[in-house]
């Protein structure tokens, strides 16, 4: 018989699953949507004080939401927060609550994103009249998100979202991470997001790099670089696993 605690955690894990896919889908559309040409040509940076003031307010406002996402993403990984969930009996839903908070911080960013009336662009190239460039832009974003999704499956997506924790507890099993090797557990502590390169592509590859888009790309790229601190031991572990997989494939195909 499922307990009330398990039911609550199961519902939170379902909410986590839906929130993650919805928010990431919204982010994908936001980043992949091509910029349109403006009626009048503009330079890369404001030229007068009035233009500077009109540009700085949206940039400051957007910075709040970008930094909020970064703080939430890092802060909720702290041991103090994990002890809090355990103290109130929600340790099963730790991953689910983390993903729900991340998703809603992301949705807040997208909903409140400010775009100045005059957009200053570091670069711009027209894609609406050039179908080759349009398909190259959109196709690269689609391919990058496929890589991210595939990588998420490889790092155990049900466990990452929180569904597996509840399933294992309902079936009187140990936490899912306890079934993984010590090397893999250490690797996951430092690196859970797949593909730094693919996420960098969706952040930076756009036909119109506005100042506010550049702010988002710079902050998140620096955060990814600093937060995903893989070590030489992680590289050796991945190399060893790759060699094992190759050996297994050779043995199966013989």
DSSP string, 179-203: GS-HHHHHHHHH--S--HHHHHHHH
pLDDT in tens, 197-249: 899 999 999 988 988 899 999 999 999 888 877 777 777 877 877 787 788 77
Residue 177 has pLDDT above 80, yes or no: yes
Range 35-60 average pLDDT = 72
| Predicted pLDDT at 43 | 61
The answer to whether 188 touches 155, Cβ cutoff 8 Å, is: yes
Q: How confident is the model at residue 254 (pLDDT cuts 50, 70, 90)?
A: low
Give the separation between CA 180 and CA 41, rounded to whole angstroms. 56
In the three-class reduction of DSSP (H, G, I as helix; E, B as strand; rest coil), residue 126 is classed as coil
Q: Are strands 208-210 and 121-124 parallel, antiparallel or unpaired?
A: antiparallel
- pTM of the predicted structure, to 2 decimals: 0.86
Mean of the per-residue pLDDT values of the chain: 85
Q: How confident is the model at residue 34 (pLDDT cuts 50, 70, 90)?
A: confident
């Amino acid at each position: 018989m499922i307990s009330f605690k398990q039911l609550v955690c199961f519902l939170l894990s379902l909410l986590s699953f839906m929130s993650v896919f919805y928010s990431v889908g919204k982010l994908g559309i936001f980043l992949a949507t091509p910029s349109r040409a403006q009626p009048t040509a503009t330079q890369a940076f404001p030229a007068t004080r009035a233009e500077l003031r009109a540009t700085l307010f949206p940039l400051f406002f957007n910075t709040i939401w970008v930094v909020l996402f970064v703080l939430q993403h890092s802060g909720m990984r702290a041991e103090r927060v994990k002890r809090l969930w355990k103290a109130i009996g929600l340790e099963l839903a730790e991953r689910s609550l983390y993903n729900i908070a991340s998703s809603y911080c992301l949705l807040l960013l997208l909903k409140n994103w400010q775009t100045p009336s005059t957009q200053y662009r570091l670069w711009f190239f027209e894609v609406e009249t050039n179908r080759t460039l349009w398909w190259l832009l959109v196709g690269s974003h689609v391919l990058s998100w496929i890589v991210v999704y595939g990588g998420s499956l490889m790092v155990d997506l049900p466990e990452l979202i929180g569904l597996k924790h509840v399933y294992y507890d309902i079936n009187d099993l140990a936490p899912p991470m306890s079934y993984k090797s010590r090397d893999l557990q250490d690797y996951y502590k430092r690196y859970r997001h797949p593909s730094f390169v693919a996420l960098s592509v969706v952040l930076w590859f756009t036909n119109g790099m506005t100042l506010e888009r550049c702010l988002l790309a710079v902050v998140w790229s620096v955060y990814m670089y600093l937060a995903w601190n893989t070590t030489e031991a992680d590289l050796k572990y991945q190399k060893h696993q790759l060699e094992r997989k190759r050996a297994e494939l050779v043995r199966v195909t013989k």
